[in-house]
Amino acid sequence: MKKISSLFLIATLFVSTFAVANEVNVFNARHYKADAELYSKFTSMTGIKVNLINGKSGALEKRIIEEGADSSADLYITADAGRCGAMDAKGHLQGGLTSAAIKAAVPKSFRTSKWVGIAKRARIIYYSPERVTGAELSGMSYEGLADPKWKGRLVIRKSSNIYNKSLVASLIENNGKKATAEWAKGVVANMARDSKGNDRAQIMAVAAGEADIAVANTYYLALMLSGKKGAEQQEAAKKVKAFFPNQNGRGTHMNVSCAALVKGAPNKDNAVKLVEFLLTPQSQEHFTNNTFEFPMIDGVSPSPLVVNNLGLDFQQDMKTKLASYGKNQAAALEVMTAAGWK
């Protein structure tokens, strides 16, 4: 009898509450503290509870896929357009992010009906002003990273990194797969070391003299300059300068953090409301000041740290559709892998 009652006790421990509530379920691959603050602001404004499951994007996507039509996910928020595009291609998203507010806020090439960009970042070149001359950089493009003059001077993350995959996907979109395959070989030949570490580590490698140029996203330098990473990294950040490539052509490669509407979302309306909220000037300002991304909407300026140190008046690539990042993702990885990019 005792056994039965203890088994019953165990069973009751498992039963979680399945009460229907006014909520929205977010599979969240962006783990900035600032985001959590925004979500609680949303809850206090609308009364809609934001349920979060944090994780790396790959694992979250898998869960959405395996749960299929029964998935509890409403929104999938992640830091790369390629990921949203890939989820779309696999048929796990649905249309619905088409409200007037969304359409008015986000430029066309940065959204589809199934996912929209909520904040922008550029993937740019960082260089050491001591060791790289203006002449060397003049007219520099992503394509130019394969130029033999950079032999032994370049650092960039691993090929498995999604930002690199999206960058290479955009090159494939613009230059074709064959040319990009050659390009990847040139890049690998120029590397100062085997790829390792995150974006910030690439910038620090330039600061520390391990390499002369690095490829990394814009917000990392601002983060280091902000002092949030400590005085040493602040000092280090001052030793590198930012350069926006492809200014003479299509513009600098842009990427977004995106919010995607999951197929079968149980709280679709609330999901749309949350996306609209993230695109309000108030939320956008919160992003720019805390994560140092570029705002998605007009009328909000980036953090002063970004403006003063990276410059604002650069030409963004508005031509290449962000949807192509997802489409060319597999080809991008194939090209990098074949070139021996670690």
Q: Given candidates 34, 41, 43, 67, which one binds other proteins under the rule CB under 8 A? A: 67
Beta carbon nearer to other proteins, 106 or 203: 203
Binding mask 146-185 for other proteins (x = CB under 8 A): ------------x-x-------------------------
Q: Which residues contact 87 (CB under 8 A, 6 or more apart)?
A: 61, 64, 76, 93, 115, 260, 326
d(C-alpha 132, C-alpha 114), whole Å: 43
Binds other proteins by CB under 8 A, chosen from 5, 33, 44, 148:
33
Residue 102 main-chain phi, psi, to 5 deg: -70, -45
Binding segment (CB under 8 A) for other proteins, from list 135-143, 170-178, 225-233, 308-316: 225-233
- In DSSP terms, which residues pair with 24 in a beta bridge? 50
User: How many helices and strands, by DSSP H and E, does the chain display?
Assistant: 16, 9
Which residue in 199, 212, 293, 317 binds other proteins (CB under 8 A)? 199
Q: Which of 38, 42, 48, 61 binds other proteins (CB under 8 A)?
A: 61
In this structure, the number of other CB atoms found within 10 A of the CB of residue 198 comes to 15
Backbone angles phi, psi at 233, to 5 degrees: -70, -30
User: Which of 22, 40, 62, 312 touches other proteins by CB under 8 A?
Assistant: 62
Q: State the minimum distance, in angstroms, from the CB of residue 9 to other proteins.
A: 9
Q: Which residue matches tokens 């979109």?
A: 173
Amino acid occupying residue 191: M
d(CA 225, CA 233): 7
Min dist. Cβ of residue 3 to other proteins (A): 8
C-alpha distances in Å from residue 19, one per residue of 16, 23, 52, 106, 143: 9, 11, 17, 35, 54
What single-letter amino acid sits at 215? V
Taking a C-beta distance cutoff of 8 angstroms, is the pair 31, 77 a contact?
no
CB of 233 to other proteins, least distance (A): 5
Distance separating alpha carbons of residues 291 and 256, to the nearest angstrom: 13
Q: List binders of other proteins among 247-266 (CB under 8 A).
A: none
C-alpha 184: how far from chain center: 21
3-state secondary structure of 270: helix
Binding mask 303-322 for other proteins (x = CB under 8 A): --------------------
State both tokens at 48.
Answer: 């809609």
For other proteins, the closer CB: 106 or 162: 162
User: How far apart are CB 88 and other proteins at their closest, in Å?
Assistant: 14
> Of 95, 139, 281, 340, which lies in the binding site for other proteins, with binding defined by CB under 8 A?
340
Residue with Cβ nearer other proteins (69 or 135):
69
**In the beta sheet, which residues pair with residue 155?**
214
Nearest one of 15, 79, 117, 34 to 321, comparing CA atoms: 117
Contact between 204 and other proteins by CB under 8 A: the answer reads: yes
Q: Measured from the CB of residue 72, what is the shortest distance to other proteins in angstroms?
A: 7
Least spacing, CB of residue 201 vs other proteins, in Å: 7
| Identified binder of other proteins from the candidate list 21, 22, 45, 90, rule CB under 8 A | 90
| Interatomic CA distance for residues 105 and 114, integer angstroms | 15
- Rounded least distance, CB 181 to other proteins, Å: 13
Q: Which of 84, 87, 168, 205 lies at the binding interface for other proteins (CB under 8 A)?
A: 205
Stretch that binds other proteins, among 58-66, 132-140, 146-154, 292-300 (CB under 8 A): 58-66
Q: Could you list the residues that contact other proteins (CB under 8 A)? A: 6, 10, 13-14, 16, 18, 25, 30-33, 51-56, 58-59, 61-63, 65-68, 70, 72, 90, 158, 160, 194, 196-201, 204-205, 207-210, 220, 228-230, 232-233, 235-236, 330, 333-334, 337-338, 340
